[in-house]
Chains A and B, each alone.
Chain A
């Protein structure tokens, strides 16, 4: 899993891709076998973790493809960046597969520390340094809170292993220890920080805006989905007996997250900042999923995550080349894109239509699953608020369309190579394919 390379720059990308593909293969190798655990049963491999890890690996592959173009001018640090990305992916997979809270914590830390470095990796730009610093300070704080919560939990129960914890909680239903409850709340806070849910979202717009665009794409997809999956697995494997405690918290947090994400996205003029807020609102929707979707329907959350991630990656893939040529990261950089680069414009349009959840795109089916699960749990108010917010989200995604199609272009040409366009088209086809088969994960199971 760990790839570190010195020299031999030409084969760097092919090697990384081959490595990731090999891991992807190994990931699915155990598909038909019963669940297995490793490292004193601290790491679990079953179909759930396989699917989530598969999604993360595919996204990592896409990021590596995109990095070939993104780091073209920075040949010197290429291998460093790629190695850090691979560390981060490793951490993300550990988070998903973990079956012991300490392992989860180690995964989170590997992912976070790599991201701190990557966020600040554009050393010559002030914003990048600021993003790295800000992310590091707040992230370290959140890790501390998470770890403190785990300590309290250990004090209350005497174990951190998922299964043992769960049996303990089931057998001590009348247990009323302050340690346990405060531990649970602190752990929740730690996770909610990582998924950038309100009110722990303040870092995300600044960090997304300041970081290099590819790192932003990585944070918005791999890091966010790993955190969501990990939270989902922890809550559903361990804390189900305490769900009356955290349900209300999650309802309030998800409503706040959806509202804040969408309302603040409307007033943004910076594309990356807008995507940060839209990511916050999508995290809110996934929290609704965590709240409402039964554990044997985990594939619905995986589907939402996959659709959201692919659309996001296409969006950033287009944005990266446009920003690079235009020297501008505002929505106005897309002005008249359709008449300069129709293929880029159309792929971006399809991706944003999916994120705006226009049927029959993947974003629509994702929201359908999440919201109908919420409806069957009688959360009508939550659903109505979510729907109103969907209309708001249409408003800001369509601001981009207005820029692409209805504003005059300036004369700056946009450089993009043929294979890059081909790759984006391929991604768009994948997005359309998963839009047309929303039940594909369930069918494979």
Chain B
């Protein structure tokens, strides 16, 4: 029942917002979404005490193709749901500073996205999962299309065509699985462990799935939509895209793709990890050269997510679990970063680094918050992403030391681009853009201070976050190892 509640609540709130008052929509939505957060905290407590079984829900929706409305939650899903519900209230609240056109529809769409995201995490039926996966894009599309900045029509279209193209390749893969392996039944997280797809088909299915995930993450060379989209999108949209939607693809790799095509995963993992690490270095270098803060954050996000992908494809426990802990911290950090960028953009009307500077003297509180968030993104010790990044690197090192050797440079690069950005944006002399910079208002304090606390709390409390995913990852790894060992033969088509 809890899983249903988690899914339904945002939908309910979205309707309340649509019918609600015109003023203070952002605050009202933030207040409502706290309820979701409380429910997910309750779910976490239940999970710790009784394990996963009480989240199950099963109802036969469609007979042909056999689709069940079936919800379960494993540790990884729970982690990401908590992340989602934790961040969404702040996303809502951060919109209160700016005057938006049609605020009710704006918040309505954010709630819809939240619901679809949770649907992706909890659905335990391949086609149902795909339905939710696609549903997440539609609110995102309208959010970007109406509230976006310059060139929004062209950029939104590019974003949408990329994602739809990827998703449709995944759709072919799913159709193929249903046509040949489901035997008229549903494919859920148990039966995908038993279907044993023949090795040659696995490569094609792997490519189909990876195209969808690679666009969403993004991985190079499928990342070209990202910087433009993040730059143009309303900041709240960017927060959700980078902080939450990208995690959906990470989750799907582990939850769905790896059990379905284990042999292809084992054989192709070094290549994907290699591409990902090239992405880390590439994104780091490009980020250093960016002149705009939001574009730079996009590349920072690309670098971090590529590192997580490399961690997942190291196919060992510390790599995968570390990647999800890092995903958790990355979600918090990126959203905090974009909230800071949002504040700067609202005050000065620009995010171009050359037109900023001198904020430190007039706005010390903001500067402190921004400083902490910046250091956390650069993975300084005692910040939340420090340990997880180390664990991921450790995992990669176990799998392929050469790749880990290259990936370590990401830490150096991270420090370089974050510090450079901070110097240009905040330190230095004032100019006409920044001279009237107000310090944080009360609602902005409410939005930003919790992130500072979260960064330090999760910097110290690491093991509980790590342990949540232990069981699921162990199952998966045992399965992959046993099956790929006993099935020799070429996977090349």
Residues of chain A having any CB pair with chain B under 8 Å: 353, 358-360, 368, 371-372, 375-376, 383-384, 387, 390-391, 394-395, 398, 401-402, 405-406, 437-439, 442-443
Contact = CB atoms under 8 A, between A and B. Distances in A.
Given A359-B130, A439-B64, A394 B145 contact: no
Q: Is the interface of B mostly helix, strand, loop or mixed?
A: helix
A372 B179 contact: yes
A375 B175 contact: yes
B146 A372 contact: no
Contacts of A387: 168-169, 171-172
Residue picked from A359, A368, A398, most chain B C-beta under 10 Å: A359
A442 B178 CA distance: 18
B27 interface: no
B153 A372 contact: no
Nearest to A300: B64
Contacts of B65: 368, 372
Nearest to B64: A439
B62 A439 contact: yes
Interface in B292-332: none
A353 to B, nearest CB: 7
**7 closest residue pairs by CB, A with B:** A375-B179, A359-B131, A360-B131, A376-B179, A372-B179, A359-B134, A372-B175
B64 A405 contact: no
B160 A398 contact: yes
A405 B65 CA distance: 35
B165 interface: yes
A398 B144 CA distance: 13
A344 to B, nearest CB: 16
Contacts of B134: 358-359
Interface string B176-187: 101110000000
A358 B153 contact: no
Given A402-B153, A437-B62, A439-B64, A359 B135 contact: yes
Given A383-B172, A395-B157, A405-B142, 7 more contacts: A360-B135, A371-B175, A387-B172, A395-B161, A398-B160, A442-B64, A443-B63
15 contacts: A359-B130, A368-B65, A368-B175, A375-B176, A375-B179, A387-B171, A390-B164, A391-B161, A394-B164, A395-B157, A405-B142, A406-B145, A437-B62, A439-B62, A442-B64
A405 B146 contact: yes
A438 B62 contact: yes
Given A358-B134, A387-B172, A391-B165, A439 B160 contact: no
Interface in B158-211: 160-161, 164-165, 168-169, 171-172, 175-176, 178-180
B138 interface: yes
B377 to A, nearest CB: 32
A297 to B, nearest CB: 8
A384 B172 contact: yes
B268 to A, nearest CB: 21
Contact of A401 (B145, B168, B171, B179): B145
Contacts of B161: 391, 394-395
What does DSSP make chain A's interface, helix, strand, loop or mixed? helix
A390 B168 contact: yes
Contacts of A368: 65, 175
A387 B172 CA distance: 8
A387 B153 CA distance: 24
B62 A394 contact: no
B223 interface: no
A364 B453 CA distance: 45
B361 interface: no
Contacts of B172: 371, 383-384, 387
Contacts of A390: 164, 168
A442 B63 contact: yes
Interface string B144-157: 01100000110001
B164 A391 contact: yes
A379 to B, nearest CB: 11
Interface string B126-147: 0000110011001001100110
B148 to A, nearest CB: 8
Contacts of A359: 130-131, 134-135
Contacts of B176: 375
A358 B138 contact: yes
Interface in B399-434: none
B179 A391 contact: no
A43 to B, nearest CB: 30
A406 B152 contact: yes
A169 to B, nearest CB: 30
B125 to A, nearest CB: 12
B145 A405 contact: yes
Question: Which of B63, B152, B171 has most A Cβ within 10 Å?
Answer: B171
B160 A394 contact: yes
A358 B139 CA distance: 13
Nearest to B204: A380
Contacts of B153: 402, 406
B142 to A, nearest CB: 6
Contacts of A405: 142, 145-146
A398 B172 CA distance: 22
B179 to A, nearest CB: 4
Most buried by A among B64, B138, B142, B176: B64
A17 to B, nearest CB: 32
Contacts of A383: 172, 175
Contacts of B157: 395, 398, 402
Nearest to B144: A406
Nearest to A375: B179
A439 B63 contact: yes
B65 to A, nearest CB: 7
Contact of B180 (A376, A384, A395, A439): A376
Interface in B61-75: 62-65
Contacts of B138: 353, 358
Nearest to B166: A391
A439 B66 CA distance: 10
Nearest to B162: A391
A232 B165 CA distance: 31
A127 B161 CA distance: 35
Contacts of B63: 439, 442-443
Contacts of B168: 387, 390-391
A320 B57 CA distance: 44
Nearest to B152: A406
A405 B164 CA distance: 20
B479 to A, nearest CB: 26
A388 B160 CA distance: 14
A360 B142 CA distance: 17
A435 to B, nearest CB: 10
Contacts of A406: 145-146, 152-153
A298 to B, nearest CB: 13
A360 B152 CA distance: 26
